[in-house]
């Protein structure tokens, strides 16, 4: 490497000791005097108008301090999506409303002295509903006569409210019609994806109180403290200056907490009761009152030459955002902009309708539209390769985006507006493919399988995926550093560590730049009073954007350190360097001063606080790449699919902390496996969740996990701090298509619907594969 | 979850537990591991009676078979030599599939039966082992064949009684075979379908008796009586197994729910029954 001392090293998490010793680090770990418990009365109906609501009995109950309905709060159209201002999501949500739009929507809220009293108070609220026809099936949302979900006049930024269309996207580069005409083979298929929930270990939780100055303090498990501050101010109609958002340690977010979800109502209850209020979703509430992944129906069409060259690809998507349009066009935009450009087709077209339904609200979720798109694209590509008699690996080698390529679709599809063209300045995808293929034994197993006559059949499949690193031209961050007397540095960042290790990575970047050991960096993050602005933890942005700000700030502080050292060592700045907590001359004289002595000199002799801050943004979003290879065993009698081995090779640019990076890959893979095979929030015909619990919402547990191989293919990204891009999202995209393709290799059926349920596999086996079909013939297709 | 529970008892004997239950006026609930009761959070419960200190955690050899106290945990069943030696160890195998290691450390035999889930993992092996359930109430103890217990569980007669023990007779004779098969969505799951089977063949390979029990495909776990009768006296071969596997599909009445459709469950009854009988045949020394 490059003589780096801290970056690229597997240091332990800076907050690790605190977490494993159970120190009071999380939102819930404080108890405020006089704290009340807030609860939301959820709508029992998918679509209804509140004709009458009477809270007198609830208010009269001893121990109840506040009861709020739509009559008691300001009506401010907004979005709960934690996005940079102006948010591209529709302003279609209200703190409380006289209409409810999904089972679980807010009807009223109470704050009481115990959870039991709060729950009792909810039962005492009398509500008469006018139940309205509900739209549950997204395919019917745009149909003539369908109930209009957002008929209120004051919502804004809705594409076509009378047809329940939250957003619409159409982008084309080249001409797909021409591309398909010039193609030798054109294949079109339809795919369906489902509603996955984030299931963070720590559900959404917020504690609000008024500080002695009467400012509203919001202690909350959020990926977006700054956006939350702005949005709560807007919704409660109080100045941003009177709000202080604190983000403690978090038990996971996965996108579900890129959302202002409890903070507004908890703040409103605090203002109403003048008491601290805690609100926490139960696990059941988390399933349907929080957010989930957008279900989509995708029609994908691709045209290729006989030799396998991709000429044109077209993706047409129908997606539902549920009752509110949080992240509606941006998630779906990604389904096109981050997926199609993986192939170097000159002609691409992406069209998408995002519709409202009376269903739980979809939102940001690790992958942000890409898992759906890549499931379609990578499954279709596998089919095309097999049809052409090509090894899918060769097909990928031939067609995937390369170093130096410009992705023009991204230029057309930005975050809610025109984007910026994306140039591939670093690309480890070829090595990712080769190393993951080796790990899975691709060359041998593609030939050998399927073998034997047992009911257990094995196969291998692959997928290539990419993502972004921050939103180009939108995401930005800042950092501030000051030096202490002992030569340590206080690092303040708005970045929001969700548990993924941002605090550690950002400290590593600061320590590396300043030439100090990691213990000399003390970090505070995600506190709107103390730390400077950061958009928050989303879009795979923290390492590259917040890290970029830290590197810049540290560079400025380093320059100040060298100035002082220059005077102390009587040497010009350009002959100074710092490492191991000292500044030394690079000339033969080898003079040195410790950071401690230097700090004392600066502070008490020169009367000078070494400190500086910096802001950072990028005009490009460098893609991390991933190759996912799966080996599966299909039980042809039960339809069960057992993943035996999953290999992911990822190009994250430089891995600032390789151990944490691998952890991110493995976590994404576990969530990706669940997405592929078992996890689905199921609604009944009336929009009620059927499995809002871990008994029947099946996640991958330890015993279900296959053998994992995780490979980091490091590259040097010019736009990233120390060459870093991102890693937390991209590996979630591959498991579903890789498994679907492995199933085809094993038993010859194409799966185009997620999750891949045993029943569906069995049905497909019965339908597509007569029992006596000759194996050789089938695989000679 | 138990905000209206007023009192928690920990009786030191069955007699005391039964007295407390009778005095609870229908609002007392028995608790052991709590893995069902706590999850259900029954709002009508006013008193909880913890039987984990009532002398009911035991596994005893009894006349060649065994007696299992109601407060015996899944983990204890899993590891007990007596249980591993009983009926090919199918009860131990079923216990080992019951939830996570944490759940198995507290969940009990009595709870698995008394909760009455049609998917309960222990019930199908106990049906195949011809187990007898011992219940106690103020009037004394009674023995009920397990199928009878399952049918009567919710009735007035049993509501005020405590399940204290399950006994399994020793299956006699040579050339027996046993199997327990479970299908879940993930490793940690309630059964989508489970099947237990046991049989014995004579020197000529003819089936002397066969028992097949199926779980999660009817309001309670059931024995497939007609299929068992059809097997009796037949030579244990692939055809007999195939016919039995087809046969059970007519004896079950599965429902569709979020775990699986009725059609899939029915089909899986066939697959798991065939696998169970094949395993039995292998153990009984029958080449198929």
- Residues B94 and B162 reside in one and the same domain: yes
- CA A660 to chain B, closest CA, distance in angstroms equals 27
**Residue A774 scores a pLDDT above 80:** no
For residue B10, how many other CB atoms are within 10 A of its CB?
Answer: 15
CA nearest B143: which of B122, B155, B158, B154?
B158
- CA B214 to chain A, closest CA, distance in angstroms equals 16
User: Do residues A245 and A528 lie in contact, with contact meaning Cβ atoms separated by under 8 Å?
Assistant: yes
As a whole number of angstroms, the distance between CA A267 and CA A763 comes to: 51
* B122 occurs within a structural domain: yes
Between A41-55, A192-206, A402-416, B28-42, the lowest mean confidence (pLDDT) is in: A402-416
- Residues B270 and B209 reside in one and the same domain: yes
- Residues A43 and A125 reside in one and the same domain: yes
Q: Which residues fall within 8 angstroms of residue A693, CB to CB, at 6 or more apart?
A: A283, A284, A287
- Residues A573 and A483 reside in one and the same domain: yes
C-beta atoms of A704 and B267 within 8 A: no
CA nearest A464: which of A119, A720, A717, A713?
A713
pLDDT value for A417: 66
Residues of B in contact with A678 (CB under 8 A): 185-186
pLDDT value for A385: 97
pLDDT value for A453: 67
As a whole number of angstroms, the distance between CA B6 and CA A294 comes to: 45
Q: Is A208 helix (H, G, I), strand (E, B) or coil?
A: strand
As a whole number of angstroms, the distance between CA A231 and CA A220 comes to: 14
Tokens of B43: 């709002």
- Residues A96 and A230 reside in one and the same domain: yes
Tokens of A615: 């802001």
As a whole number of angstroms, the distance between CA B202 and CA B286 comes to: 10
CATH number of the domain encompassing residue A128: 3.90.1170.50
Answer whether A613 touches B (CB < 8 Å). no
As a whole number of angstroms, the distance between CA A95 and CA A77 comes to: 8
- From B186, B257, B264, residue closest to A698, measured CB to CB: B186
Query: What proportions of chain A, in percent to the nearest 5, are helix, strand and coil?
Result: 30, 25, 40
Answer whether A758 touches B (CB < 8 Å). yes
As a whole number of angstroms, the distance between CA A138 and CA A683 comes to: 12
Question: Residue-wise over B70-84: b if at least 16 C-beta within 10 A, else e?
Answer: bbbbbbbbbebebbb
- Residues B89 and B145 reside in one and the same domain: yes
Q: Which residues fall within 8 angstroms of residue A174, CB to CB, at 6 or more apart?
A: A312, A345, A346, A347, A348
- CA A132 to chain B, closest CA, distance in angstroms equals 26
- Residues A157 and A91 reside in one and the same domain: no
Could you give the angle at the alpha carbon of A165 between the alpha carbons of A162 and A169, nearest 5°? 140
pLDDT value for A567: 96
CA nearest A599: which of A570, A560, A555, A573?
A560
Q: Which residue has the tokens 């379609």?
A: A376
Residues of B in contact with A637 (CB under 8 A): 271
**Residue A391 scores a pLDDT above 70:** yes
- Residues B63 and B163 reside in one and the same domain: yes
Q: How many domains does chain A have?
A: 3
- Residues A78 and A212 reside in one and the same domain: yes
Residue of B nearest to A760 (CA): B264
Q: What percent of chain A has pLDDT over 90?
A: 94
* A315 occurs within a structural domain: yes
CATH number of the domain encompassing residue B107: 3.30.465.10
Query: Which band of pLDDT confidence, cut at 50, 70 and 90, is reported for residue A588?
Result: confident
User: Do residues A92 and A153 lie in contact, with contact meaning Cβ atoms separated by under 8 Å?
Assistant: no
pLDDT value for A139: 97
- From B189, B190, B271, residue closest to A638, measured CB to CB: B271
B96-104's contacts with Cβ under 8 Å and 24+ in sequence apart are: B97/B121, B97/B182, B97/B184, B97/B191, B98/B74, B98/B122, B99/B35, B99/B74, B99/B188, B100/A701, B100/B188, B101/B75, B103/B33, B103/B35, B103/B74, B104/B73, B104/B74, B104/B75, B104/B78
- Residues A45 and A146 reside in one and the same domain: no
Query: Which band of pLDDT confidence, cut at 50, 70 and 90, is reported for residue B154?
Result: confident
Tokens of B80: 């007990």
As a whole number of angstroms, the distance between CA A30 and CA A222 comes to: 17
C-beta atoms of B185 and A759 within 8 A: no
pLDDT, average across residues A104-127:
97
CA nearest B237: which of B203, B206, B272, B267?
B206
pLDDT value for A778: 35
Q: Between the CA of residue A413 and those of A334, A353, A418, A420, A472, what are the distances in Å?
A: 8, 15, 5, 8, 11
What are the backbone dihedrals phi and psi of residue A752, each rounded to the nearest 5 degrees, phi first?
A: -125, 20
CA nearest A397: which of A436, A430, A442?
A430
User: Do residues A238 and A305 lie in contact, with contact meaning Cβ atoms separated by under 8 Å?
Assistant: no
- Residues A323 and A336 reside in one and the same domain: yes
Half-sphere exposure in the Cβ direction for A736 (13 Å, CA): 37
Answer whether B96 touches A (CB < 8 Å). no
Tokens of B186: 């993930």
**Residue A770 scores a pLDDT above 70:** no
What are the backbone dihedrals phi and psi of residue B90, each rounded to the nearest 5 degrees, phi first?
A: -65, -30
pLDDT value for A449: 59
- Residues B264 and B197 reside in one and the same domain: yes
Q: Between the CA of residue A245 and those of A27, A156, A533, A745, B41, what are the distances in Å?
A: 12, 27, 12, 52, 36
- Residues B128 and B206 reside in one and the same domain: no
Answer whether B259 touches A (CB < 8 Å). yes
Which of A705, A759, A762 should one mutate to test binding to chain B, selecting the residue with the greatest count of B CBs within 10 A?
Answer: A759
Q: What is the mean pLDDT of chain A?
A: 95
- Residues A315 and A244 reside in one and the same domain: no
As a whole number of angstroms, the distance between CA A70 and CA A316 comes to: 39
User: Do residues A7 and A656 lie in contact, with contact meaning Cβ atoms separated by under 8 Å?
Assistant: yes
Beta strand pairing call for A489-493 and A310-322? unpaired
CATH number of the domain encompassing residue A513: 3.30.365.10
C-beta atoms of A701 and B188 within 8 A: yes
CA nearest B2: which of B37, B43, B35, B31?
B43
- From B188, B258, B260, residue closest to A759, measured CB to CB: B260
Which domain, by its residues, includes B100? 59-168
Which domain, by its residues, includes A589? 16-24+471-617
pLDDT tens profile A410-465: 887 766 667 778 999 999 999 999 999 999 999 999 986 555 668 999 999 999 99
Pick the last residue of a domain from B118, B141, B168: B168
Q: How many domains does chain B have?
A: 3
Q: What percent of chain A has pLDDT over 70?
A: 97
pLDDT tens profile A510-539: 999 999 999 999 999 999 999 999 999 999
C-beta atoms of A637 and B271 within 8 A: yes
- Residues A189 and A76 reside in one and the same domain: no
- CA B99 to chain A, closest CA, distance in angstroms equals 10
**Residue A1 scores a pLDDT above 70:** no
- Residues A271 and A403 reside in one and the same domain: no
Residues of B in contact with A762 (CB under 8 A): 264, 267
- Residues B68 and B158 reside in one and the same domain: yes
- Residues A272 and A409 reside in one and the same domain: no
* B219 occurs within a structural domain: yes
DSSP string, A310-357: EEEEEEEEEEEEETS-TTHHHHHHHHHHTTGGGB--SEEEEEEEEEE-
Pick the last residue of a domain from A617, A633, A667: A617
For residue B258, how many other CB atoms are within 10 A of its CB?
Answer: 15
Pick the last residue of a domain from A366, A393, A413: A413
pLDDT, average across residues A663-678:
98
Could you give the angle at the alpha carbon of A161 between the alpha carbons of A416 and A108, nearest 5°? 95
The single-letter DSSP state of residue A85 is S
* Cα dihedral sign, B16-B22-B25-B29: positive
Half-sphere exposure in the Cβ direction for B146 (13 Å, CA): 27
Q: Which residue has the tokens 């029943």?
A: A759
User: Do residues B251 and B222 lie in contact, with contact meaning Cβ atoms separated by under 8 Å?
Assistant: yes
pLDDT tens profile A31-83: 999 999 999 999 999 999 999 999 999 999 999 999 999 999 999 999 999 99
pLDDT, average across residues A331-341:
96
As a whole number of angstroms, the distance between CA B92 and CA A449 comes to: 36
CATH number of the domain encompassing residue B234: 3.30.390.50
- Residues A224 and A110 reside in one and the same domain: yes
As a whole number of angstroms, the distance between CA A313 and CA A376 comes to: 12
Query: What proportions of chain B, in percent to the nearest 5, are helix, strand and coil?
Result: 40, 25, 40
CATH number of the domain encompassing residue B11: 3.30.43
Q: Which residue has the tokens 């090293």?
A: A9
- CA B184 to chain A, closest CA, distance in angstroms equals 10
**Residue A772 scores a pLDDT above 50:** no
As a whole number of angstroms, the distance between CA B90 and CA B48 comes to: 32
As a whole number of angstroms, the distance between CA A680 and CA A678 comes to: 6
CA nearest A415: which of A294, A320, A334?
A334
pLDDT value for B42: 85
pLDDT value for A414: 67
Q: Label residue A84 left, alpha or beta by phi (over 0 means left) and psi (-120 to 50 means alpha).
A: beta
* A638 occurs within a structural domain: no
- Residues B157 and B201 reside in one and the same domain: no
As a whole number of angstroms, the distance between CA B124 and CA B112 comes to: 11
pLDDT value for B156: 77
- Residues B138 and B44 reside in one and the same domain: no
C-beta atoms of B183 and A696 within 8 A: no
Tokens of B160: 């005020």
Pick the last residue of a domain from B168, B184, B202: B168
- CA B267 to chain A, closest CA, distance in angstroms equals 8
* B288 occurs within a structural domain: no
A128 exposure class (CB count in 10 Å sphere: 0-12, 13-18, 19+): exposed
* B155 occurs within a structural domain: yes
Pick the last residue of a domain from A289, A313, A329: A289
C-beta atoms of B187 and A701 within 8 A: yes
Half-sphere exposure in the Cβ direction for A275 (13 Å, CA): 21
pLDDT tens profile A686-729: 999 999 999 999 999 999 999 999 999 999 999 999 999 999 99
* Cα dihedral sign, A324-A327-A331-A337: positive
Reported ipTM:
0.94
As a whole number of angstroms, the distance between CA A17 and CA A20 comes to: 5
* B15 occurs within a structural domain: yes
- Residues B64 and B145 reside in one and the same domain: yes
pLDDT tens profile B77-129: 999 999 999 999 999 999 999 999 999 999 999 999 999 999 999 999 999 99
């Amino acid at each position: 490497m490059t003589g780096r001392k801290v970056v690229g090293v597997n240091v332990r998490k800076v907050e690790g000791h605190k977490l494993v010793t159970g120190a009071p680090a999380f939102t819930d770990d404080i108890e405020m005097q006089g704290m009340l418990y807030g609860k939301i009365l959820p709508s029992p109906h998918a679509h209804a108008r509140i004709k009458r609501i009477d809270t007198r009995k609830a208010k009269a109950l001893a121990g109840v301090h506040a009861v709020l309905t739509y009559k008691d709060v300001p009506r401010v159209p907004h979005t709960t999506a934690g996005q940079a201002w102006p948010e591209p999501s529709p302003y279609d949500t209200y703190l409380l409303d006289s209409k409810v739009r999904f089972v679980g929507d807010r009807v009223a809220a109470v704050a009481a002295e115990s959870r039991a009293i709060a729950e009792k108070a909810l039962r005492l609220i009398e509500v008469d509903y006018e139940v309205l026809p509900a739209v549950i099936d997204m395919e019917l949302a745009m149909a003539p006569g369908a109930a209009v979900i957002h008929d209120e006049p004051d919502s804004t930024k809705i594409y076509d409210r009378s047809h329940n269309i939250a957003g619409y996207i159409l982008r084309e580069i080249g001409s797909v019609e021409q591309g398909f005409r010039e193609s030798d083979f054109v294949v079109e298929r339809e795919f369906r994806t489902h509603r996955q929930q984030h299931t963070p270990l720590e559900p959404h939780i917020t504690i609000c109180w008024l500080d002695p100055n009467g400012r509203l303090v919001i202690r909350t498990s959020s990926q977006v403290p700054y956006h939350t501050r702005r949005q709560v101010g807007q919704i409660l109609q109080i100045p941003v200056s009177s709000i202080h958002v604190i983000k403690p340690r978090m038990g996971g977010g996965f996108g579900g907490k890129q959302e202002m979800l409890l903070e507004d109502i908890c703040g409103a209850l605090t203002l109403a009761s003048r008491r601290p209020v805690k609100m926490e979703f139960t696990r059941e509430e988390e399933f349907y009152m929080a957010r989930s992944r957008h279900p989509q129906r995708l029609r994908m069409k691709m045209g290729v030459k006989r030799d396998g060259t991709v000429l044109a690809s077209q993706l047409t998507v129908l997606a539902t955002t549920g009752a509110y349009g949080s992240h509606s066009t941006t998630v779906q935009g990604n389904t096109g902009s981050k997926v199609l450009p993986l192939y170097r087709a000159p002609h691409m077209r992406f069209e998408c309708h995002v519709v409202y339904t009376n269903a739980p609200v979809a939102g940001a979720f690790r992958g942000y539209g890409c898992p759906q798109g890549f499931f379609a694209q990578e499954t279709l590509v596998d089919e095309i390769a097999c049809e052409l008699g090509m090894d899918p690996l060769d097909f990928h080698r031939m067609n995937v985006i390369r170093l130096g390529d410009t992705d023009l679709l991204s230029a057309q599809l930005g975050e809610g507006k025109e984007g910026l063209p994306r140039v591939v300045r670093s690309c480890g995808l070829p090595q990712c493919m080769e190393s993951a293929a080796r790990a899975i034994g691709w060359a041998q197993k593609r030939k050998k399988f399927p073998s034997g006559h047992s009911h257990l059949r094995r196969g291998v499949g692959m997928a290539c995926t990419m993502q972004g690193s921050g939103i180009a031209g939108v995401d930005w961050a800042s950092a501030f550093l000051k030096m202490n007397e002992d030569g340590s540095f206080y690092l303040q960042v708005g970045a929001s560590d969700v548990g993924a290790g941002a605090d550690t990575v950002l400290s590593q970047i600061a320590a590396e730049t300043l030439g100090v050991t990691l213990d000399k960096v003390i970090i505070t993050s995600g506190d709107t009073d103390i730390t400077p602005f950061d958009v928050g933890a989303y879009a795979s942005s923290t390492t590259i954007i917040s890290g970029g700000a830290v590197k810049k700030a540290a560079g400025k502080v380093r320059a100040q350190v060298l100035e002082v050292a220059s005077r102390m060592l009587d040497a010009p700045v350009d002959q100074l360097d710092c490492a191991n907590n000292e500044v030394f001359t690079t000339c033969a004289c080898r003079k040195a001063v410790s950071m401690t002595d230097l700090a004392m000199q600066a502070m008490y002799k020169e009367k000078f606080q070494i400190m500086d801050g910096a802001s950072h943004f990028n005009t490009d979003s460098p893609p991390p790449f991933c190759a996912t290879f799966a080996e599966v065993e299909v039980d042809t009698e039960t339809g069960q699919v057992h993943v035996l081995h999953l290999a992911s090779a990822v190009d994250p640019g430089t891995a600032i902390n390789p151990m944490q990076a691998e952890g991110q890959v493995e976590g994404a893979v576990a969530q990706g496996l669940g997405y592929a095979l078992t996890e689905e929030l199921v609604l009944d015909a009336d929009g009620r969740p059927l499995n809002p619990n871990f008994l029947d919402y099946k996640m991958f547990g330890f015993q279900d996990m296959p053998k994992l191989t995780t490979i980091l293919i490091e590259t040097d990204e010019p736009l990233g701090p120390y060459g870093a891009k991102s890693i937390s999202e991209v590996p979630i995209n591959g498991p579903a298509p890789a498994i679907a393709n492995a199933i085809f290799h094993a038993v010859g059926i194409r799966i185009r619907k997620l999750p891949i349920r045993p029943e569906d596999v069995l049905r497909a086996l019965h339908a597509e594969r007569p029992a006596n079909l000759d194996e050789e013939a089938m695989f000679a297709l | 979850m138990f905000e209206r529970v007023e009192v928690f008892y920990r009786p030191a004997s069955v007699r005391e537990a039964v007295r407390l239950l009778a005095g609870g006026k229908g609002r007392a609930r028995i608790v052991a591991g709590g893995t069902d009761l706590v999850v259900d959070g029954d709002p009508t419960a006013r008193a909880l009676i913890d039987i984990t200190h009532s002398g009911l955690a035991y596994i005893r050899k009894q006349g060649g078979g065994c007696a299992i106290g109601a407060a015996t945990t899944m983990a204890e069943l899993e590891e007990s030599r007596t249980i591993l030696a009983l009926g090919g160890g199918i009860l131990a195998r079923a216990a080992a599939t019951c939830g996570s290691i944490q759940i198995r450390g507290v969940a009990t035999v009595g709870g698995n039966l008394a909760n009455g889930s049609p998917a309960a993992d222990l019930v199908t092996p106990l049906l195949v082992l011809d187990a007898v359930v011992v219940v106690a109430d103020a009037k004394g103890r009674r023995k009920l064949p397990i199928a009878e217990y399952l049918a009567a569980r919710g009735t007035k007669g049993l509501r005020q009684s405590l399940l204290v023990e399950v006994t399994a007779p020793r299956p006699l004779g040579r050339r027996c075979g046993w199997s327990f098969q479970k299908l879940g969505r993930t490793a940690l799951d309630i059964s989508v379908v489970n099947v237990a089977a046991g049989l014995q063949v004579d020197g000529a390979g003819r089936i002397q008796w066969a028992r097949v029990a199926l779980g999660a495909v009817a309001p309670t776990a059931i024995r497939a009586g007609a299929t068992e009768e059809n097997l009796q006296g037949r030579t244990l071969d692939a055809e007999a197994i195939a016919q039995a596997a087809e046969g059970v599909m007519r004896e079950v009445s599965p429902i569709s729910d979020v775990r699986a459709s009725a059609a899939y469950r029915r089909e899986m009854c066939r697959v798991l029954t065939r696998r169970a009988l094949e395993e039995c045949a292998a153990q009984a020394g029958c080449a198929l």
